[in-house]
């Protein structure tokens, strides 16, 4: 009798648990309002048995008026299935799920998409030879690089977030896989896949890994930083660069289902793709097309090269050039030829390593940044100072130690105050053959290693303000507010100066 009571009690508890879980789940689905370009997340309990990652499919059609979007869901572990959706139009959205599991199908719901707030400007898009957010705000990429910062444990990752929060950077290049390379011999806490590092189960993901990654992506989003996600790379000792086509596709579809609703993510197919010997250009093309098809949001997508071999960035799925080179001018030529925006995602790092890619002076880094910018090409920062604990910003994050960072902030301010897309325009730069911007509403002229005593220019109609900038000492001196017609402007005769020119009336 005692046993029967106990059995009934257990049954009631089980039922209560299910009800409670149901209430919890329902509560988490109780989002009634979502900002435009925010995330609506639908969560539902489903099968735990077998391999839900490849046996269960779930998706939903989100619709508003005549618009509808097919959104794949994903298994998040512990019997939880999620469908994440980033609405791009204000108003009431409705959805209905479908699945190969009956109890996951036919679920309906709705929410109100509201005006975005704060730094939410939507997804960054290519805009001619430049970038803008969905809401039209220009986006000037000032990225940094920390390949494996999410693989270093919470303590260091939080420090990295803190550093980023006061940095000038609005994009970070980061790998989904951990990194095995010089200065990088520590094992990560979690891997993408479940199982042991000596024997992954490439058909199951590791929820802890993804929870951590998403936490970091959200932190970046809150800071207005784009997460340029590197999907494959060659610095591998775990076989992650040698997966089969089937395993790649399984991995990629899961990434897209889980992460594509985050407005601040970009796809970088690979770092130094050429060094991944198991994949041919055709494989990269296949992967690029696959992501193009699967990603309903059309996030920015590119692939990063090794200096020995550039990629054919003319491919339709490539939204922008993500190049590694120290030739700033070549990138401009490429950009103009391909008519796509370009980011020099690796022009060398400020640091003091022995390797030439990791020991550039701050002076040279600042020079490369300015040179690129007046060519309408963006540059991604990286820092590689030797550290007794091998915590190099470029791979693990932590503190920034270099002298270029504050000068990059200064450059970003100069560019954002100018608030226009710069394109290299030699003829417009008058008698100067040095470097110019365009003179629509304004122009940025950078003299680099040149030190003219005067700069002659014939201004188009109107009056112009000219500021003389010392790019290293970060000073801005107004030379005058009313320049017009033919002018010979006296300069400082020092190198590494620039002019910012704005039309005043």
Question: Among residues 207 and 307, whose Cβ is nearest to its own copies?
Answer: 307
Question: Among residues 278 and 355, whose Cβ is nearest to its own copies?
Answer: 355
Secondary structure (DSSP) of 68-124 = EEEEEEEE-STTEEEEEE---SSEEEEEEEEESSGGGSS-EEEEEEE---TT----E
What is the layout of strands, in order, in the sheet containing 301-302?
Answer: 143-145, 171-175, 226-232, 265-270, 301-302
What is the closest distance, in whole angstroms, from the C-beta atom of residue 436 to its own copies in the complex? 11
What is the closest distance, in whole angstroms, from the C-beta atom of residue 311 to its own copies in the complex? 23
What is the closest distance, in whole angstroms, from the C-beta atom of residue 443 to its own copies in the complex? 16
Q: Which two tokens stand for residue 180?
A: 């095995």
Q: Quote the CA–CA distance of 159 and 216 in Å, as a whole number.
A: 12
Question: Among residues 161 and 429, whose Cβ is nearest to its own copies?
Answer: 429
State how beta strands 171-175 and 143-145 pair.
Answer: parallel
Q: Quote the CA–CA distance of 439 and 309 in Å, as a whole number.
A: 35
Q: Which of 307, 256, 254, 233 is nearest to 85 (CA)?
A: 256
- Rg (Cα) of the chain, in Å, rounded? 26
State how beta strands 265-270 and 226-232 pair.
Answer: parallel
Question: Among residues 120 and 435, whose Cβ is nearest to its own copies?
Answer: 435
What is the closest distance, in whole angstroms, from the C-beta atom of residue 454 to its own copies in the complex? 6
What is the closest distance, in whole angstroms, from the C-beta atom of residue 440 to its own copies in the complex? 23
Cα angle 91, 125, 323 (rounded to 5 degrees) comes to: 160
What is the closest distance, in whole angstroms, from the C-beta atom of residue 88 to its own copies in the complex? 45
Question: Among residues 258 and 367, whose Cβ is nearest to its own copies?
Answer: 367
Question: Among residues 35 and 346, whose Cβ is nearest to its own copies?
Answer: 346
What is the closest distance, in whole angstroms, from the C-beta atom of residue 496 to its own copies in the complex? 8
Question: Among residues 132 and 375, whose Cβ is nearest to its own copies?
Answer: 375
What is the closest distance, in whole angstroms, from the C-beta atom of residue 61 to its own copies in the complex? 54
Question: Among residues 312 and 456, whose Cβ is nearest to its own copies?
Answer: 456
Question: Among residues 5 and 453, whose Cβ is nearest to its own copies?
Answer: 453
Cβ atoms of residues 382 and 393 within 8 Å: yes
CA atoms within 13 A on the CB side of 410: 19
Stretch (H or E) spanning 215: helix 207-222
Q: Which two tokens stand for residue 193?
A: 């896949």
- For residue 43, the cross-strand partners are 82
Q: Which two tokens stand for residue 444?
A: 């940025």
Going through 271-341 in order, the beta strands assigned E by DSSP cover: 301-302, 321-324
What is the closest distance, in whole angstroms, from the C-beta atom of residue 380 to its own copies in the complex? 18
Sign of CA dihedral 196, 198, 204, 208: positive
Q: Give alpha helix (H) positions in 341-385.
A: 362-374
Question: Among residues 114 and 492, whose Cβ is nearest to its own copies?
Answer: 492
What is the closest distance, in whole angstroms, from the C-beta atom of residue 362 to its own copies in the complex? 9
Question: Among residues 202 and 472, whose Cβ is nearest to its own copies?
Answer: 472
Which residues of the chain form contacts with its own copies (CB under 8 A)? 351-357, 359-361, 363-364, 386, 431-434, 449-456, 493-495
Cβ atoms of residues 341 and 321 within 8 Å: yes
Q: Which of 321, 318, 266 is nearest to 297 (CA)?
A: 266
Question: Among residues 232 and 446, whose Cβ is nearest to its own copies?
Answer: 446
Cα angle 217, 219, 224 (rounded to 5 degrees) comes to: 90
What is the closest distance, in whole angstroms, from the C-beta atom of residue 348 to its own copies in the complex? 8
Q: Which of 399, 408, 388 is nearest to 161 (CA)?
A: 399
Stretch (H or E) spanning 496: none
What is the closest distance, in whole angstroms, from the C-beta atom of residue 113 to its own copies in the complex? 50
């Amino acid at each position: 009798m005692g046993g029967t009571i106990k059995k009934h009690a257990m049954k009631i508890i089980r039922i209560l648990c299910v009800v409670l879980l149901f209430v919890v789940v329902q509560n988490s689905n109780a989002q009634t309002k979502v900002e435009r370009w925010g995330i609506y997340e639908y969560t539902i309990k489903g099968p735990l048995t077998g391999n839900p990652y490849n046996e269960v499919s779930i998706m939903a059609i989100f619709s508003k008026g005549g618009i509808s979007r097919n959104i794949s869901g994903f298994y998040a572990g512990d019997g939880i299935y999620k469908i994440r959706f980033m609405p791009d139009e204000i108003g009431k959205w409705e959805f209905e799920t479908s699945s190969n599991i009956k109890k996951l199908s036919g679920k309906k719901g709705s929410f109100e998409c509201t005006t975005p707030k704060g730094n939410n400007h939507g997804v960054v898009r290519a805009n001619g030879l430049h970038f803008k957010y969905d809401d039209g705000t220009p986006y000037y990429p000032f990225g940094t690089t920390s390949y494996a910062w999410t693989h270093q444990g919470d303590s260091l990752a939080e420090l990295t977030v803190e550093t980023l929060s006061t940095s000038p950077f609005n994009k970070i290049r980061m790998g989904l896989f951990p990194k095995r390379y010089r200065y990088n011999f520590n094992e990560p806490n979690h891997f993408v896949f479940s199982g042991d590092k000596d024997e992954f189960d490439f058909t199951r993901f590791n929820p802890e890994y993804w929870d951590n990654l998403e936490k970091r992506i959200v932190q970046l989003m809150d800071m207005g930083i784009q997460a340029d996600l590197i999907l494959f790379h060659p610095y591998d000792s775990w076989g992650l660069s040698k997966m089969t086509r089937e395993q790649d596709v399984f991995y990629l579809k899961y990434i897209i289902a889980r992460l594509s609703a985050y407005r601040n993510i970009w796809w970088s197919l690979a770092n130094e793709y050429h060094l991944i010997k198991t994949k041919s250009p055709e494989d990269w093309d296949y992967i690029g097309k696959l992501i193009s098809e699967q990603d309903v949001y059309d996030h920015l997508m590119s692939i990063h090269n090794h200096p020995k071999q550039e990629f054919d960035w003319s491919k339709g799925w490539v939204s922008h050039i993500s190049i590694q080179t120290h030739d700033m001018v070549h990138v401009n030529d490429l950009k103009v030829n391909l008519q796509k925006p370009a980011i020099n995602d690796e022009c060398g790092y400020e640091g003091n390593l022995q390797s030439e890619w990791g020991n550039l002076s701050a002076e040279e880094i600042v020079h490369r940044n300015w040179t690129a910018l007046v060519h309408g090409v963006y540059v991604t920062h990286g820092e590689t100072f030797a550290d007794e604990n091998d915590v190099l910003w470029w791979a693990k994050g932590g503190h920034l130690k270099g002298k270029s960072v504050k000068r990059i902030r200064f450059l970003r301010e100069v560019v954002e105050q100018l608030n226009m897309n710069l394109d290299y325009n030699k003829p417009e730069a008058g008698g100067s053959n040095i470097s110019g911007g365009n003179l629509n509403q304004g122009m940025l002229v950078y003299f680099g290693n040149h030190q003219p005593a005067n700069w002659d220019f014939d201004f188009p109609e109107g009056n112009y303000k000219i500021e003389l900038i010392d790019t290293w000492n970060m000073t801005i001196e107004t030379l005058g507010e009313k320049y017009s017609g033919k002018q010979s402007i006296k300069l400082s005769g020092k190198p590494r100066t620039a002019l910012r020119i704005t039309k005043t009336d």
